[in-house]
Amino acid sequence: MSLLQEQAVSMIGNLSDDNVSFLIEIIRRLMPHEKEQIENVYNSEGKEAFEKMLEARDNIQHYFPVDFDPDKELEEARAERYGSTN
């Protein structure tokens, strides 16, 4: 083990578990193959969440009247709560 590696091990030994976890995350992001795997997980989770959101939005829309205008509803709710700004 090189002197630099020994210094790193010594420094890591003095860190709390939370800081070691943070350091591991940083190291993973710096390693090319690990970074690619992490990005794939985040991308797939993000895509899945977005698809669920779109599906939920489509399912919820049938509860609203056909002529529902969210901007108008927001404006009316603000006027009711805070008074008219006109």
What was the pLDDT predicted at 42? 65
Q: pLDDT tens track of the chain, all 86 residues?
A: 789 888 988 988 998 888 888 888 888 777 766 556 666 666 777 788 888 888 888 888 888 888 889 899 999 999 999 986 65
Tokens describing residue 26: 């940083």
pTM exceeding 0.75: no
Tokens describing residue 36: 């690619």
Give the per-residue SS3 of 26-70: HHHHHCHHHHHHHHHHHHHHHHHHHHHHHHHHHHHHCCCCCCCCH
Quote the distance between the C-alpha of residue 71 and its chain's center. 27
Domain ranges of the chain: 1-30, 36-86
Helix axes 17-30, 32-61, angle to 10 degrees: 100
